[in-house]
Amino acid sequence: MMGESDSEIIRNIVVAYLSENGEFETEEGRTTLDDISEQLNTLQTMYDALTKSLEKNKIINERELEDSIRKELERQSTLRE
């Protein structure tokens, strides 16, 4: 299991994907847990701001956005297989 809640599962999928694609490399070419944590916190802040803006403008709510992200991740996973 990749996590207990939807957000943990999505976070773990994102970490795995970004790690595979070298997105967590520092200038020295190494990645530390602090670097990853900082980048994930930034991504979480961006996600929260986007969600609040979409909800405020009555475009989509957080649950709908999470469902959409999950479906897209599943679709992309299927394409890679």
Question: What integer pLDDT is reported at residue 60 of this predicted model?
Answer: 85
- Residues near 32 by Cβ (< 8 Å), separated by ≥ 6? 26
Low-confidence ranges of the chain (pLDDT < 70): 1-5, 21-31
Cβ distance 24 to 33 under 8 Å? no
Q: pTM (2 decimals)?
A: 0.51
Residues 36-54 pLDDT 10s: 778 888 888 888 888 888 8
Helix (H), strand (E) at residue 45: helix 33-56
pLDDT, residue 48, reads 85
